[in-house]
Amino acid sequence: MITTPDNDNKLDSPMVFIILGKGYESKESEGIELHILLTAPDDDTAVREALNALSEEGFIEADLDQIGVLTEEPVEEPHASAYQGALEGEVSIIRFG
């Protein structure tokens, strides 16, 4: 009899989520492309924490388009330092444009 399930989803390291979207600082603004990196136990929590962080940064609205889990540590900036920040418990927001 097998005592350990084959589909054990526990990871050795925290899950680092990346969320892609656009944030708006005013109703008239075009929006700013964003990448948000953070650790969370699941995608619902990741989205909630990302929206809270965006609100604290002055965004009044956000369109979050994609969410995923990073499987490798990024080597290029600005994602490499944002990844390290996420591992330290920060919500890292990268702005483009």
Domain boundaries, the chain: 16-96
Where residue 6 falls among pLDDT bands split at 50, 70, 90? very low
- Determine if the peptide bond prior to 74 is cis (ω within 30°): no
Average pLDDT over residues 28-43: 96
Task: Give the neighbor-by-neighbor strand order of the sheet with 16-24.
Answer: 61-69, 16-24, 32-39, 92-96
Comparing 91 with 11, the larger pLDDT belongs to 91
Average pLDDT over residues 69-97: 96
Alpha helices in the chain (DSSP H): 43-56, 79-87
pLDDT at residue number 12: 65
Q: Mean pLDDT score of the chain, rounded to an integer?
A: 90
**Is pLDDT at 13 greater than 50 in this prediction?**
yes
Place of tokens 């084959």: 6
pTM: 0.85
- In angstroms, the first-to-last Cα distance of the chain is 57
